[in-house]
Structure 1
């Protein structure tokens, strides 16, 4: 059920509607739309979002999949609480927040994922290898990379896992901002978005 804060079925909630904590990453709206598109969700999808940060992806996907379930994995207790508060802000009731470090905590999640989103992280190769074991045939994984090292790590791991239908998109977004009495364009940090499917 949508709240008045965002009464639309369209994804792309403005960044400033989310509660934030200093230093905690937030997937920018335009990047978020690309991630959601790559996930190819259904109304009843089960999604694991690993490294959920501010909780923008869990909120958006929770609204898009009213019959589904979103598992948000976050190791920091304060950040996990932030995700819960943002879910409450938007009336999202199908998000479960798991406090723990991936990949160690993944074995304790009772719901098998059909989709997995991995938002950066130092152990992204290990996490990707681990979640692959839980994905069914036809399952999809989407991972983000903010630098070349992570990009090479994810692309190499998807190749090792023999992922199919691999796609790679790099965002290039500029937003109009008002500075003083002028309007200028400001670039949103580019992010690589990689996706692939597990097909037996």
Structure 2
């Protein structure tokens, strides 16, 4: 799928190319690269992105896999419109945006997923348990934890669900930034990425 803004066949759209709203999280480019690699999308995957925020994962996934079916779940109407706007901005047509609070709204999604991306929130471990019920066999869940409490709860959740091939990685990224007349390396907030597969 061609995009006039991002004409490349690889992921890694620079953060500044996405439209944003104050206070709405954006998954940083380097973390996005990790998430997409751990999702292991196939050409016709059904992907649920729960807690889609700015819509970076749906946009990148939609560009990489134009035949896939992608569902982006967000609770706030304003953020839902932001996701739609970013999809239009990049020419992505295979994303359906669902407004609702997870996990309660998940039964509104019309197809069961092969892949699920969980992008945070206090109750992410509860959402993990719910999406696992919908996940197709051999499906994968990739989740973000931005603190030790979430890391523990997600790790415990994957173990309770008897997920296989569990992997945990912590990103540690520094970006060169200009501050005044000098250039410094600034740390991107460290994130834990957890993944597991259903039997």
TM-score range, shorter chain: over 0.9
Q: Secondary structure at the match of 1:175?
A: strand
Equivalences for residues 93-104 of structure 1 within 5 A: 93-104=93-104
Give the C-alpha shift of residue 108 in structure 1: 1.5
Please say if 1:114 is aligned against 2:114: yes
Question: Could you tell me which residue of structure 1 aligns to residue 136 of structure 2?
Answer: 136
Distance 1:58 1:7 in 2: 16
Distance 1:182 1:70 in 2: 42
Q: Secondary structure at the match of 1:104?
A: coil
Deviations, residues 13-46 of structure 1 (Å, cap 9, x unaligned):
0000000000000000000000001100111111
Gaps of 5+ in 2: none
Equivalences for residues 167-186 of structure 1 within 5 A: 167-186=167-186
Gaps of 5+ in 1: none
Give the C-alpha shift of residue 152 in structure 1: 0.4
Give the C-alpha shift of residue 99 in structure 1: 0.3
Distance 1:78 1:39 in 2: 27
Question: Could you tell me which residue of structure 1 aligns to residue 163 of structure 2?
Answer: 163
TM-score by length of structure 1 reads: 0.98
Distance 1:125 1:174 in 2: 28
Equivalences for residues 149-160 of structure 1 within 5 A: 149-160=149-160
Question: Could you tell me which residue of structure 1 aligns to residue 72 of structure 2?
Answer: 72
Question: Could you tell me which residue of structure 1 aligns to residue 88 of structure 2?
Answer: 88
Question: Could you tell me which residue of structure 1 aligns to residue 29 of structure 2?
Answer: 29
Question: Could you tell me which residue of structure 2 aligns to residue 56 of structure 1?
Answer: 56
Distance 1:28 1:172 in 2: 12
Distance 2:49 2:162 in 1: 22
RMSD: 0.6
Number of matched pairs: 199
Moved over 6 A (4+): none
Distance 1:2 1:17 in 2: 16
Q: Secondary structure at the match of 2:60?
A: helix
TM-score by length of structure 2 reads: 0.99
